[in-house]
Amino acid sequence: MIRIANLELHVAHSCNLACASCSHYSNHNHKGLVSPAEALRWILPWSTRLRPVMFSLLGGEPAINPELAAFVPMARACWPKARIRIATNGLLLARHPDLPGLLAKAGDTILELSIHHASDAYRARLEPVFDLIRSWIRDHGIRVRLVHSYREWTRRYHGFGAAMEPFDDGRPRESWLNCPARCPQLFEGSIWKCAPLAYLGIQDRKYGLSEAWRPYLDYAPLEPGAGQAEIKRFFAREEEPYCGMCSGRPRRFDLPLPLPERIPGTVLA
């Protein structure tokens, strides 16, 4: 089995936040859930060939998926020695009362709470989430990590929707070295170099992207039938021409408040 640092799986393509320039395009109003049964079909061909140190469940926002908790024992059965990580903004965790018990039972798990803004308005939305997580830690002993994502936020592309364009800096080495999304994705049974490549097809089907994206849409992921030598080469590869879609230097900006507009009295879904 080939050891890799991390492998990520979307369990939901939609998100309840709208973080500008999200590297997973989750701020572009996508829909769609992955079921545990479907995910299992994707995982099984790799479960005896890859040994991820960490297997990550995320999105989008994973807590949008009503079956989120069921992914934990499924992932543990497939990779008994991997650390199971759930990356979430936390705002919908109350929908999953079974989750902390299953995380505790699985062992070597971590709930990663990604914080996307420093404003008082955003902090107020997180207060009940913090109360819930404290109770989960007290009652189940789960491990939780807070990540202030907004502090290192960068632009991954120009524009939005159909007007989105790649940077095309022509500096793929610098793009790869500065990439904050350097995490292989398990999507539709294949393994993709990173999230911007994995979910670009979803973006194109929804918006009809410009021809500037054609070289990147032609990316071929690692298929389940790949030989051992091909798998090793895939995970050893650093920069490629495809990395040129992203900026060759970090383009930091102050992330606007990602809470979508909502009608007073409604529940954020």
What digits encode the pLDDT tens for the residues 110-132?
A: 999 999 999 999 999 999 999 99
pLDDT of 109 strictly over 80? yes
188, part of any domain: yes
In this prediction, residue 169 carries a pLDDT of: 87
Report, in this order, helix, strand and coil percent for the chain, each rounded to 5: 40, 20, 40
Split at pLDDT 50, 70, 90, the class of 261 is low
- CB count within 10 Å of CB 24 equals 25
Please state the pTM of the whole predicted model: 0.94
- Distance, in Å, from the CA atom of 29 to the CA atom of 47, rounded to the nearest integer, reads 32
Angle among Cα 129, 138, 112 to the nearest 5 degrees reads: 45
- Distance, in Å, from the CA atom of 42 to the CA atom of 244, rounded to the nearest integer, reads 28
In this prediction, residue 181 carries a pLDDT of: 83
Relative to beta strand 83-88, strand 50-59 is: parallel
Q: Which amino acid is at 7?
A: L
Q: Can you spell out the DSSP letters for 202-237?
A: HHHHHH---GGGHHHHT--PBPTT--HHHHHHHHH-
The domain of 202 spans 2-245
- CB count within 10 Å of CB 101 equals 15
- Distance, in Å, from the CA atom of 6 to the CA atom of 3, rounded to the nearest integer, reads 9
Split at pLDDT 50, 70, 90, the class of 267 is very low
Split at pLDDT 50, 70, 90, the class of 180 is confident
CATH of the domain at 241: 3.20.20
pLDDT of 79 strictly over 60? yes
In this prediction, residue 264 carries a pLDDT of: 37
Domain count, the chain: 1
- Distance, in Å, from the CA atom of 55 to the CA atom of 52, rounded to the nearest integer, reads 6
113, part of any domain: yes
257, part of any domain: no
187, part of any domain: yes
pLDDT of 262 strictly over 70? no
261, part of any domain: no
**Stretch 127-150: mean pLDDT, rounded?**
97
In this prediction, residue 268 carries a pLDDT of: 35
- Distance, in Å, from the CA atom of 93 to the CA atom of 154, rounded to the nearest integer, reads 26
- Distance, in Å, from the CA atom of 20 to the CA atom of 116, rounded to the nearest integer, reads 11
Residues 220-230: tens digit of each pLDDT: 999 999 999 99
Half-sphere exposure of 216 (CA within 13 A, CB side): 28
Mean pLDDT of the chain: 94
- Distance, in Å, from the CA atom of 168 to the CA atom of 243, rounded to the nearest integer, reads 9
263, part of any domain: no
